[in-house]
Structure 1
């Protein structure tokens, strides 16, 4: 099983000159460049933009609802890459409360898993079609206090990869850690990102 090396594509304002930073996590089979291309639809003026690239274009090999051990060591390695990137951004002078996260599909699951294991004051987080990771959710894994960090969670109903029940369970855990969650479930929506979701994301990003 594979581990990830830290390969990060960047865009936007150089971090040393930026007010805010965003970490963007691509989905399975996609790339850092593909998720960064969303910047053309997002309010990211003044942001330093970072998108790590998964080895083999996948953050972990199996479904996010497979037993966690089946997705190791890739999953822990992916979480480590994000943690190192957060530290790098802080070292460049951007405070944690000005760091934002965005992910789609597998990247949305990873976004939620990282921030919920490391709950704190962030700028905001956007999870386009995702939920917390594991066959069962182990609440002891999730700790900290979001201090009303705004978090947008969206999904289709039904979605071929992400059951609505898991999205709802994930949102409940986020709320117990004091996240300010907006949940949107779109009947019949394909496994994609809609215009309305981008509008909602921009409400978080422009604050």
Structure 2
């Protein structure tokens, strides 16, 4: 994996850590522009990993799994997982955010037993076709925010809804937003919810609590 970028609060001053995983053909700077620069929550240390090439894996997310895709996905998950575990060593609440292919990566990492304080899967689905036997792990009330456009060019809505169903079956505490007409981007409504996830992490509260 290419060099990890750090931004925001210094390690000794941070109150929470947020790992942000980019999508296909994107860079850490893209995530800075699309997400991080729009978040205004003090005390957050951002950790942004980068894939070796232009993508974490070559296939489309909904393509049937091949040996090559499985090998690439395993290697990418190992790299991102190492980044997350290094961030965990700081002993702070840990929020995981992924966009597009990065969100698919985050979903697969969670489904393989990865643990965080809360997660946001922005435009995500499982990696693999309907007929593939995809691994699932118990999520035990983990707060997970998922989003998609109703006609996203990369992540079909049916595939996103399938992911949401699996997350629910695995015990996640879910909020799902579907945005009619939204492009392959991150909207202000998503940024607002992400800010809420980070605020909850800093305050030591459980994210996505029902509104009384």
Q: Counterparts of 1:72 and 1:15 in 2: how far apart (Å)? A: 34
The verdict on how the C-alpha distance between 1:67 and 1:18 changes in structure 2, with shifts beyond 3 A counting, is same
Query: Hey, what's the Cα distance between the residues in 1 that align with 2:50 and 2:84?
Result: 15
The equivalences for 1:21-60 within 5 A come to 21-37=17-33, 38-60=35-57
> What is the aligned partner in structure 2 of residue 159 from structure 1?
152
Tell me what 2:60 maps to. 63
For 1:122-201, list aligned pairs within 5 A. Answer: 122-136=116-130, 137-139=132-134, 141-144=135-138, 146-201=139-194
Q: Quick check: which one's helix share is greater?
A: 1
User: Could you tell which deviates more after superposition, 182-191 or 11-20?
Assistant: 11-20
Instruction: List runs of 5+ in structure 1 lacking aligned partners.
Output: none
Q: Which runs of 5+ in 2 are unaligned?
A: 201-212
Looking at structure 1, the residues matched to 114 and 166 of structure 2 have their Cα atoms a distance apart, in angstroms, of 11
Q: Secondary structure at the match of 1:7?
A: strand
Are the aligned partners of 1:156 and 1:185 in contact in 2 as well (CA < 8 Å)?
Answer: yes
Provide the TM-score with structure 1 as the length reference: 0.87
SS in 2 for 1:101: strand
1:119 CA drift (Å): 4.9
Q: Which residue of 1 aligns with 2:109?
A: 114
Aligned-partner Cα distance in 2 for 1:116–1:185: 22
**Partner SS state of residue 147, structure 1:** coil
Structure 1 residue 138: deviation in Å? 2.5
**CA deviation map 1:12-51 (0-9, x unaligned):** 1223432211110111111012213322211442121111
Between 24-33 and 65-74, the greater mean CA deviation after superposition: 65-74
Write the distance in 2 (CA, Å) between the matches of 1:56 and 1:161.
19
Question: RMSD of aligned C-alpha atoms?
Answer: 1.7
Q: CA deviation at 1:67?
A: 2.1
Partner of 2:210: none
Deviations 1:47-81 (A, max 9, x none): 21111111122111110111222424221111001
User: How far apart in 2 are the matches of 1:131 and 1:44?
Assistant: 28
Q: CA deviation at 1:112?
A: 1.1
Deviation at 1:161, TM superposition (A): 1.1
State the alpha-carbon separation in 2 of the partners of residues 119 and 88 from structure 1. 13
Number of equivalenced pairs: 197
Supply the distance in 1 between the matched residues of 2:17 and 2:158 (Cα, whole angstroms): 31
Matched position secondary structure for 1:34: helix
Moved over 3 A (4+): none
Q: TM-score, normalising length from structure 2? A: 0.85
